[in-house]
Amino acid sequence: MNSNHVGVDVDSLDSTVAANAGYYDDGTGKFQNLTLISRKAMQVWVDYDAAATQITVTMAPLGLARPKKPLLQTTIDLSGVLQQDTAFAGFTSATGILFSRHFVLGWSFALDGPAPALNISALPALPRAWPKPRSKVLEIVLPMASATLVLAVGVAIYAVVRRRIKYAELREDWEVPFGPHRFSYKDLFHATRGFSDKQLLGAGGFGSVYRGVLLKSNMEVAVKKVSHESKQGMKEFIAEVVSMGRLRHRNLVQLLGYCRRKGVASGLLYLHEDWEQVVIHRDVKASNVLLDSEMNGRLGDLGLARLYDHGTDAHTTHVVGTMGYLAPELGHTGKATPATDVFSFGAFLLEVTCGRRPVEQDEHGNHSVLADWGVKESKVKKMMIAKIVSFVVLLLLIHGGSSSDGGQFVYQGFTTANLTLDGLAVVTPGGLLALTNATFQGKAHAFHPSPVHFLNASSSAAAPPAAARSFSTCFVFAIVSAYDALSDHGLAFVVAPTTNFSAAKAGQYLGLLAGINGTASHRVLAVELDTIMNPEFLDINSNHVGVDANSMISEQRHAAGYYDDAAGGAWRDLQLNSRKPMQVWIDYDGLAGQLNVTLAPVKVPKPNKPLLSVSVDPSTFMADTMYVGFSSATGVVLTHHYVLGWSFSLDGPAPPLDFTKLPVLPRVGPKPRSKVLDVLLPLATALLVAAVLAAVFSTVWWRCRYAEVREDWEDEFGPHRFSYKDLFHATSGFKDKNLLGVGGFGRVYKGVLPASSLEIAVKRVSHDSRQGVKEFVAEVVSIGRLRHRNLVQLLGYCRRQGELLLVYDYMANGSLDKYLYGQQMPTLSWNERYKIVKGVAASLLYLHEDWEQVVIHRDIKASNVLLDHEMNGRLGDFGLARLYDHGTDPQTTHVVGTMGYLAPELVRTGKATPLTDVFSFGVFLLEVACGRRPIDRDDGNNRVVLVDRVIEHHRAGSILDVVDPRLVGKYETEEATLVLKLALMCAHPMPNVRPSMRRVVQYLDSNQPVPDLSPSYVSYSMMSLMQNEGFDSYVMSSNPAVTSIGGSSMSVLSEGR
């Protein structure tokens, strides 16, 4: 009936009667469950009444009186069973795959009367199942013995400790990829092995560059060591830290993050136009373009960079740069501008195209300029970077581009992986792919999200059928059991036509099939790593590797191990359930139809001789597109199956895995008791004084050796993590007089940093607020690394016991909604409104296309657009933001946001995409142009959707009648018409009809005319669509409540967070 029962068996293992293990409590009469494998002693009473031919079984925890109501009671005539005059009474037991021990502590028996009671106090004790826990006495006595010796030191540091406790902060794992940007000299010293010459990458007039590996994260870094006396010196060093340290773009070399394929031109466009200030690089050349592992170009070395505000002129400065890349006007103006960078970029383009240096000497010693050599007497007109990018994109569209078919991928851990998971499979916070979690009779599957094209199509009708492509995969796995040398069923690498394994069974079937053989419609190829011997499947032992072709009976199988090349090919056994990571290589030759499987410990190179080599007919399992991944299942043993890293490739070897980047396996069982205490305890008191003195001496020596200098200019740059003490003083102890706003997500205070006198806004979020830790992390990780002139700048953060704090640039003019709806605020002019919508559009283009990942804001509205002192619109509040990699699909998530701004398809698909942001932006355009809320009430208290109101006027030819009447006709007719039509395009209910944000920016910049909207284009009612899509089931605030104190406000949604 289950795996925890009591039964009465008469000449058969099919029990005559059975019940769940437990007893009936005499006090309450209720049934109390017992677990037979609890490692605790229990008592059982078995009584047979020969006259009534009735047997009863009663059980209870040891020490509890015998319950009055038995657990089992049934009628059995034993005279027909015990046919001999005498019989033996005793116990029988057996083991299977579990290392279990069965003990009897005491026993009594009687004929024709009750069995004598057992003296529980006289029974032997059970042996210990785990190592003895560390003695608490030692942990208490040792500090007490040392207390008198350290009392003087404790008094000296008391004041310091008390001060640190007051400003205590927490540091968690998710903060590592975010910062801080200031490294300790000690970390860099060790990362570069003491700046050893072996680590030297290059040297020049500005210093030396060393390769290093950070000890904590194993991240490879390049360290530029600049001395005060170098040509670059502190001035250029500061420029590089202040500019490059805050820039974020996919084609700029940066400390954290990664790049995708766009190129140097896109990086320059970001520097010149899209960042919060204008950045002039002043040294664009081939030697400053670095190539990453995928040969993507990334512009680096901003040591000569100059920054100035948008809308202002560049200052005159010294002429610096590299000969051949300097624009002619620099000699007489001394001003570095975007146009001078464009000149350098032009020389760089010729350098890349022609494979020549900008200035060369011929055999006669004469200098020749590459531009003259290439174009002779013609004059090359400089083009703005944006036009160059457009030209490159046009060429790509004309000539076509190769698209990836998912033929190669690498997962160095799975933290950012978008795998298709089901069953027990999860990705742990540490990056492990945990297929199982010690659940009985469970199964799990994890697949790469995109199918792989495994067949090469025939070239003609007369050609033979499509041939299978070769593939190679490599992965690191570990099987971790709660018991030594024993585990449950294993795991398998799978190639299958679908990711749906709902019909498959757990246990010995590994979640692959529903029986011994698969079906013709669901063929799978699997390489099993099995730790259970199942005779039904012809397994050779409980530690083997096999190749399964649509069957649980392996085509070929072998004991786990490898042929050691270092020992002349000698055989080495491996234990699959050793709790240690191992590496597997699976290589399939499509031409030969040969599948090789190789196994080895981690960090051992791939052996030359494979473990298995099997001929596999691809027609038995191969389809045009197949999914690759892993399957695993559990039975009755508490076992975890992990995958630490995975790489795959078609038509070539799988990329090697970097073991230093793989996640770490968790600890199993309690930490063993340290023998050190038992040995050193008698000596601890005598040695403590010497240890304290040595620690003091080491600390002084360490601080002297790794002493760092902190200068005034660093206060301008950061770091990104603020101390609670600084924020406490900046806000005058979070006084109410500095309170800017209050909402469901916490309070916002105005503050002034003491060191730099910089005005800031501090959002103080408590753990029990509606935003909480999850949204706090989202906001830090996303907006904390974003840099754009139209985004609210997150200057830093602080994590403290019980609360979370975010530090922003202070926006002097508050949120946009106050000016649109507030009665006490002046009305914004049309020019101000148009500048705001253009700025927000540019920021969304950056989020969707130009940053290193796709960022979906999910809450675009007027109350989330803040205005700086120049009335520039800045998009803020990234608490609902979602990020995913370029080229991948967003994951389904909860529907969140604000009613009136939500795209109709969100309820149906649950996927937030760039086009759902475009919809919200369309509603925002109407909000700004009309001065009305997205959903309002008419005179009859009926709900009116703003989009429907504008559509009605558009049909009637009076679209300008919806413009905010407070403008009293003072607006540009063409611009107002453009904004309103563009808003209807963006807020269209069909996602594929909406324009991208790049197209929106082009419309607003008048680079493209807005198409006329036909009557059929706007033949819909948004109110009806919302009701049809089920928006009425979402109780959300269509009129966000706004609490405003001072100069800022926060909107509070009634639901959606």
**Per-residue confidence (pLDDT) for residue 865, from 0 to 100:** 94
Q: Specify whether 315 is located in the same domain as 215.
A: no
What's the one-letter identity of residue 253?
Answer: V
Q: Does the pLDDT value for residue 463 go beyond 50?
A: no
- 1022 pLDDT more than 70: no
pLDDT at position 421? 93
Confidence of residue 394 (pLDDT cuts 50, 70, 90): very low
pLDDT interval class at 878 (50, 70, 90) = confident
> Sorting pLDDT into bands at 50, 70 and 90, what band is 98?
low
- 875 lies in a domain? yes
Q: 264 and 350 share a domain?
A: yes
The rounded mean pLDDT for the chain is 79
Render pLDDT for 178-212 as a digit per residue (tens, 0 to 9): 444 567 777 888 889 988 888 888 776 567 888 89
Q: Which of 168, 197, 231 is the last residue of a domain?
A: 231
Inform me whether the pLDDT recorded for 981 exceeds 50: yes
Structure tokens at 462: 């007369």
What CATH number corresponds to the domain at position 540? 2.60.120.200
d(CA 504, CA 537) in angstroms, rounded, equals 16
- pLDDT value at residue 613: 95
Query: Both 445 and 476 in a single domain?
Result: yes
In this prediction, residue 396 has a pLDDT band, given cuts at 50, 70 and 90, of very low
Tell me the three-class secondary structure of 551-571, residue by residue.
ECCCCEEEECEEEEHHHCCEE
Q: pLDDT exceeding 70 applies to what percent of the chain?
A: 74
Could you say which of 859, 877, 917, 964 is catalytic?
Answer: 859
**328 and 477 co-located in one domain:** no
Q: Is residue 562 over pLDDT 70?
A: yes
* Pair (82, 223) in one structural domain: no
Beta-carbon count within 10 A of 160 CB: 9
Bridge partners, 799 (sequence order): 804
Cα–Cα distance, 870 to 789 (Å, whole number): 12
Residue 697: in which H helix or E strand, if any? Answer: helix 676-705
Q: Are 647 and 493 in contact (CB under 8 A)?
A: no
Is there a contact between 688 and 149 (Cβ–Cβ < 8 Å)? yes
Range of lowest pLDDT (481-485, 542-546, 971-975) = 481-485
- Measured from the Cβ of residue 234, the count of other Cβ atoms closer than 10 Å reads 13
How many whole angstroms separate alpha carbon 1022 and alpha carbon 1014?
17
My answer on whether 782 and 748 are in the same domain is yes
**Alpha-carbon gap, residue 423 to 443, rounded angstroms:** 6
What is the 3-state secondary structure of 300-314? Answer: CCCCCCEEECCCCCC
Residues 950 and 862 in one domain: yes
Q: Does 423 share its domain with 359? A: no
CA separation (Å) from 342 to 270, 345, 380, 429?
13, 5, 12, 45
Instruction: Give the CATH number, domain containing residue 213.
Output: 3.30.200.20
d(CA 291, CA 259): 10
Least confident window among 235-244, 306-315, 824-833, 912-921: 235-244
The residue type at 155: V
Q: Does residue 65 belong to any structural domain of this protein?
A: yes
Pick the closest to residue 740 from 1052, 1048, 1050, 1051 (CA basis). Answer: 1048
Residue 705 falls inside a structural domain: no
Residue appearing with tokens 């990942």: 853
Average pLDDT over residues 71-83: 85
Above 60 in pLDDT, residue 290? yes
Diameter of the chain by CA atoms?
127
Task: Please state whether beta strands 426-427 and 420-423 pair in parallel, antiparallel, or not at all (unpaired).
Answer: unpaired
Same domain, 274 and 374: yes
Q: Which domain holds residue 862?
A: 812-1052
Look at phi and psi of residue 818 and say left if phi exceeds 0, alpha if psi is from -120 to 50, else beta: alpha
859 is catalytic: yes
- Give the per-residue pLDDT at 388: 44
Name the nearest CA neighbour of 1022 among 898, 860, 903, 895: 903
CATH number where 855 lies: 1.10.510.10
| pLDDT cut 90: percent of the chain above it | 35
Spatial distance between the Cα atoms of 47 and 66, rounded to a whole number of angstroms: 12
Q: DSSP label at 846?
A: I
**449 and 301 in one domain?**
no
pLDDT in tens, 937-980: 877 778 888 999 999 999 888 999 999 999 999 999 999 999 99
Q: What is the CATH number of the domain that holds 95?
A: 2.60.40.4220
Average pLDDT over residues 616-639: 83
| In a domain? residue 311 | yes
Domain boundary among the residues 399, 418, 451 is at: 399
Flag the least confident range among 217-221, 837-841, 855-859: 217-221
Q: Is the pLDDT of residue 460 over 60?
A: no
Q: What is the reported pLDDT for 103?
A: 94
- 674 belongs to a structural domain: no
User: 1045 has which bridge partners?
Assistant: 1048
Mark whether 950 and 892 lie in a shared domain: yes
What is the C-alpha R_g of the chain? 36
Spatial distance between the Cα atoms of 916 and 23, rounded to a whole number of angstroms: 59
Question: Token pair of 576, please?
Answer: 């699959």
Q: Looking at per-residue confidence, does 652 or 688 come out higher? A: 652
Q: Residue 530 corresponds to which tokens in the numbers above?
A: 């099995």
Q: How confident is the model at residue 532 (pLDDT cuts 50, 70, 90)?
A: confident
Q: Which residues contact 548 (CB under 8 A, 6 or more apart)?
A: 492, 512, 524, 525, 526, 527, 528, 554, 555
Q: Are strands 5-8 and 367-369 parallel, antiparallel or unpaired?
A: unpaired
Average pLDDT rounded to a whole number, residues 155-180: 56
The CA distance from 206 to 229, in Å, is 9
Cα–Cα distance, 784 to 228 (Å, whole number): 31
pLDDT at residue 459 above 50? Answer: no
Say yes or no to pLDDT of 289 above 60.
Answer: yes
Higher pLDDT, 1050 or 658: 658
Residues 885, 1033, single domain; the answer is yes
3-class DSSP state for residue 581? Answer: coil
Separation CA 74–CA 635 (nearest Å): 32
Q: What are phi and psi of 236, to 5 degrees?
A: -70, -35
The pLDDT assigned to 403 comes to: 34
**Where is the binding site for ATP, in residues?**
225, 763
The C-alpha atoms of residue 417 and residue 450 are separated, in whole angstroms, by: 12
Least confident of 8-22, 296-310, 563-577, 806-820: 296-310
Q: What is the mean pLDDT of the segment spanning 851-875?
A: 92
Predicted confidence (pLDDT) at residue 1055 exceeds the cutoff of 80: no
The CA distance from 834 to 838, in Å, is 6
Residue 358, in any domain of the structure: yes
**In which residue are the tokens 């109709």 written?**
904
- Token pair listed for 973: 């007719």
- Residue 706: inside a domain, yes or no? no
Token couple for 439? 């659940």
- Mapped onto helix, strand or coil, the DSSP state of residue 442 is coil
Structural domain count, the chain? 6
In 403-437, which positions are buried (b, 16+ CB within 10 angstroms) versus exposed (e)? Answer: eeebbbbbbbbbebbbbebebbbbbeeebbbbbbb
The C-alpha atoms of residue 668 and residue 652 are separated, in whole angstroms, by: 38
Distance CA 428, CA 425 (A): 10
Rounded average pLDDT over 567-571? 94
Quickly state the pLDDT bin for 794 (edges 50, 70, 90). Answer: confident
Distance CA 836, CA 834 (A): 5
pLDDT of residue 1024: 63
Q: Provide the 3-class DSSP secondary structure of residue 48.
A: strand
In a domain, 712, yes or no: no
